[in-house]
Amino acid sequence: MVASGFWLMWAILHAAPEFSMRSLKVLILEDHPFQLMALHQMLNANGVFNVLTADSVEVARQSLASKGPVDIAICDLYLEHGDSLGLIREMAEHSQAQVLVLLSDAEPDVLEGVASMARQAGLNVLGCMPKPASATSIGQMLDACRQRLRPSPQALSWERVHQMLGVSEFATEKLCAEVGEAAIERYARVCYQPIVSQAGDLQGVEALARWQDPEHGQLMPSEFLPLLELAGLEQAFTWYVLDQVLRLCAQVTRDTGLELPVSVNIPGRLLDQEHFALTLQGLLQRFAVPARNLTLELVETSRLKTDSAHVTGLLRLRMIGCKLSIGDFGIGGTSLQRLLELPFTELKIPPAFASGMAGDERKCAVVAGAMSMAQHLGVGVVVTGIETPADRDAVRALGPAWLQGCLIAHPMSAQALQHWLAKSTAIAL
């Protein structure tokens, strides 16, 4: 946890280019003159010379405005003058920093709250350094950033799109649908992770999209989906995943006579399309997969609107028989409102709450509250990120819920899943 002072790697993408220390650009916000000077000198000693120093929020704003975004922002939480929390939000909103390091001896719950706020705003929170910072902690922080720092926004370019799709460079307008769809067929991958009851009975699987990049190897959704969106291929990719998933469901039924419930992530933007539900219904009928066995999972639910377009899109999906899941429950602060306003049938408790809950009373309280609320609302619960027997047992002690995580099974290919199913008990319908 942030409070422990250990370096956190939450949300920092692993596929990243190497950076030299000299190339890093760092902002220090610290209103104690000696501490500010010491931090500056320790960064220099580690080969970081592009350092912006600020003893107030206003000076920090002026530096960022005149000298541009930074790779790392080291921010003291308690300033005599100015609001560091406001600056953190501004840096996130205007993409003025990639990584945030908190500098404070604040109470653990305060640090956790600030870290959560910053992550929700879009910053990668690397961790917290107690005051005064040491040369060792500065060195550890820089090593982590050098190895883990994600590409700058400039990487979200057509050059990167061409590279990821494995096509030669050409004008943007020539990136036709056929080329994009061929690349999706070549590089898109779908993995599957089982979901079980607390008794160990299989309840279904979640389909997890991956991309086999020609140069960088396997990419996670956070790494390739923005590029596909930029290329206008997000919808084509979604339909490819749905086709692969339903094809597997049909194959399992043919081979075993059993039905395989499956959950698939879809972008909320598809809800704006009037014919999405009808097209999906046609695909379900093509593979003879009952709509009740398909759960459509939406993340970034805080962005869903309760206007007629989104509500209508969700209702159309429920009317054809599909189930709907909130995939980021508790993240962003508005999921509860969405659960009450929109026709969801399931909520997923993310790993941020479940992982390590056995040793964290606050996490246990959050998970217990979500499970109790879901039970009273008549919606299902899937607790994800179950990595240890202790966390599994902690969930069991709280009440009924389905479980997902690497303790149960790691994500696997369609072929591996079929072998896994052959060895498991009958699917609980």
What does the pLDDT look like over 62-116, one tens digit per residue?
989 888 888 899 999 888 777 888 899 899 888 898 888 988 877 877 888 888 8
| pLDDT at position 262 | 98
Say yes or no: 123 and 201 in one domain.
no
Cα–Cα distance for residue pair 221/208, rounded to 1 Å = 9
| pLDDT at position 154 | 40
Beta 188-196 vs 202-213: how paired, if at all?
antiparallel
Does residue 323 belong to any structural domain of this protein? yes
Tokens of 419: 């072998």
Tokens of 354: 């479940």
Torsion, Cα of 118, 124, 125, 131 (10° steps)? -100
Say yes or no: 262 and 128 in one domain.
no
Does residue 429 belong to any structural domain of this protein? no
Say yes or no: 150 and 162 in one domain.
no
| CATH (domain of 49) | 3.40.50.2300
| CATH (domain of 415) | 3.20.20.450
Say yes or no: 112 and 167 in one domain.
no
Instruction: Work out whether the CA dihedral 202, 208, 213, 218 comes out positive or negative.
Output: negative
| pLDDT at position 113 | 83
* Domain tally, the chain: 2
Cα–Cα distance for residue pair 18/147, rounded to 1 Å = 6
Choosing from 104, 126, 155, the residue where a domain stops is 155
Does residue 266 belong to any structural domain of this protein? yes
Say yes or no: 375 and 265 in one domain.
yes
CA Rg, the chain, in Å? 23
Does residue 428 belong to any structural domain of this protein? no
Beta 188-196 vs 124-129: how paired, if at all?
unpaired
Cα–Cα distance for residue pair 2/125, rounded to 1 Å = 9
Report how far apart, in Å, the C-alpha atoms of 387 and of each of 12, 153, 384 are: 20, 33, 9
Say yes or no: 261 and 339 in one domain.
yes
Does residue 12 belong to any structural domain of this protein? yes
Q: Burial of 282 by CB count in 10 Å (0-12 exposed, 13-18 middle, 19+ buried)?
A: exposed
Cα–Cα distance for residue pair 276/124, rounded to 1 Å = 34
Specify whether the CB–CB gap between 259 and 284 falls below 8 A: no
Choosing from 128, 155, 182, the residue where a domain stops is 155
Say yes or no: 138 and 172 in one domain.
no
What does the pLDDT look like over 338-384, one tens digit per residue?
777 788 999 999 888 888 899 888 889 889 988 998 888 899 999 99
DSSP code of 269? G
In the 3-class helix/strand/coil scheme, how is 36-94 assigned residue by residue? HHHHHHHHHHCCCCEEEEECCHHHHHHHHHHHCCEEEEEEECCCCCCCHHHHHHHHHHC
Say yes or no: 197 and 295 in one domain.
yes
Does residue 188 belong to any structural domain of this protein? yes
Q: Which residues contact 314 (CB under 8 A, 6 or more apart)?
A: 271, 324, 342, 343, 344
Say yes or no: 243 and 149 in one domain.
no
Question: In DSSP terms, which residues pair with 176 in a beta bridge?
Answer: none
Say yes or no: 257 and 344 in one domain.
yes
Say yes or no: 143 and 186 in one domain.
no
Choosing from 155, 189, 204, the residue where a domain stops is 155
pLDDT 10s digit of each residue in the chain, 429 long?
333 332 222 222 222 333 444 467 899 999 888 888 888 888 888 888 888 999 899 999 998 988 888 889 999 988 877 788 889 989 988 889 888 898 887 787 788 888 888 888 888 888 788 888 888 888 888 877 765 565 444 445 666 777 777 765 544 444 566 778 888 999 999 999 999 999 989 999 999 999 998 877 888 887 888 888 888 888 999 999 999 999 999 999 999 899 999 999 998 888 888 899 999 999 999 999 999 999 999 876 656 665 566 788 899 999 999 999 988 776 654 456 677 778 899 999 988 888 889 988 888 988 998 899 888 889 999 999 999 999 999 999 999 999 999 999 999 999 999 999 988 754 443
Tokens of 416: 């591996």
Nearest to 398 by CA among 426, 425, 344, 361: 361
Tokens of 32: 């104690």
Does residue 237 belong to any structural domain of this protein? yes
Does residue 122 belong to any structural domain of this protein? yes
Query: Which domain does 173 fall in, by range?
Result: 158-423
Cα–Cα distance for residue pair 28/48, rounded to 1 Å = 12
What does the pLDDT look like over 167-188, one tens digit per residue?
655 444 445 667 788 889 999 9
Say yes or no: 191 and 150 in one domain.
no
